[in-house]
């Protein structure tokens, strides 16, 4: 779990957006538009319930 989650200096938990691993984001499958690819960049914060569960998994 530690490799999938980034902890910021203020303690926020970040993750990658879903759907990046398929559909020509990285491979040569049917092409995904540039707009969609850009929309999937960056990290997002975990929601409340997920945050508690992930923090417990990380031992924090």
What's the number of CA atoms in the CB half-sphere (13 Å) around residue 42?
A: 5
Give pLDDT, residue 35. 86
Give pLDDT, residue 26. 57
Give pLDDT, residue 44. 92
Give pLDDT, residue 38. 85
Give pLDDT, residue 22. 67
pLDDT in tens, 8-57: 999 999 998 887 776 655 555 567 778 888 888 889 999 989 999 999 99
Task: Give residues with Cβ within 8 angstroms of 13, minimum separation 6.
Answer: 5, 6, 7, 45, 46, 51, 54, 55
Give pLDDT, residue 2. 77
What's the angle, vertex CA 54, arms to CA 53 and CA 59, rounded to 5?
A: 100
CA dist 22 → 5, 10, 44 (Å): 20, 32, 19
């Amino acid at each position: 779990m530690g490799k999938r989650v980034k902890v910021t200096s203020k303690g926020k938990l970040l993750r990658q957006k879903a759907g990046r691993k398929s559909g020509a984001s990285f491979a040569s499958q049917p092409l995904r538009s540039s707009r969609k690819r850009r929309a999937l960049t960056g990290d997002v914060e975990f929601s409340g319930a997920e945050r508690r569960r992930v923090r417990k998994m990380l031992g924090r």
